[in-house]
């Protein structure tokens, strides 16, 4: 696709600022290589390079290593009221884990669920 630089810059800035982009790079043996972005917003602190990532980031247990497959996990509850879309994909360097904040979708879906529950209760009362 031939996307103008201005559009690419806008999307990148939006992801970094509004969706609180954070990332991890993990070797195939589970060793944490590098990380960055807004990890503290996801409750991920005190990472140690060279240590197994699943000992440091609990919700990755059983997901890595990736076997040439991309995984998208929407609305993962990774902490106290912390919801993220988790993207995992392999590369030549190792397996990437991207976190994008998703609190707005979670709040919207919770509101829809509450409205549906209210509607069901109202129907039961009418019957």
pLDDT tens sequence across 80-102: 778 899 999 999 999 999 999 87
Residue 17 lies in a domain: yes
| Domain tally, the chain | 1
Residue 11 counted as domain residue: yes
Residue 51 covered by a domain? yes
What is the pLDDT, as a whole number, of residue 26? 98
**122 belongs to a structural domain:** no
CATH number at residue 14: 3.30.450.20
Task: Determine the structural domain holding residue 68 and report its residue range.
Answer: 5-102
Taking residue 91's Cβ as centre, other Cβ atoms within 10 Å add up to 9
pLDDT tens-digit readout, 31-85: 999 999 999 989 999 999 999 999 999 999 999 999 999 999 998 888 777 889 9
Please tell me whether residue 83 adopts helix, strand or coil conformation. strand
Phi, psi of 111, rounded to the nearest 5 degrees: -65, -45
Alpha-carbon distance values, 123 to 75, 76, 103, 127 (Å): 30, 32, 30, 6
Please check whether residue 63 lies inside any domain of the structure: yes
Q: Is residue 26 part of a domain?
A: yes
């Amino acid at each position: 696709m031939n996307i103008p630089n201005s559009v690419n810059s806008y999307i990148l800035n939006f992801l970094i600022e509004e969706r609180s982009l954070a990332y991890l790079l993990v070797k195939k043996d589970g060793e944490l290589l590098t990380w960055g972005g807004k990890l503290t917003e996801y409750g991920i602190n005190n990472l140690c390079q060279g240590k197994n990532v699943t000992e440091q980031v609990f919700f990755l247990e059983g997901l890595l290593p990736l076997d040439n497959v991309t995984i998208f996990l929407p609305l993962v509850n990774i902490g106290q009221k912390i919801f993220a879309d988790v993207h995992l994909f392999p590369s030549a360097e190792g397996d990437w884990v991207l976190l994008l904040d998703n609190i707005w979708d979670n709040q919207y879906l919770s509101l829809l669920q509450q409205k549906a529950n209210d509607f069901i209760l109202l129907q039961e009362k009418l019957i």
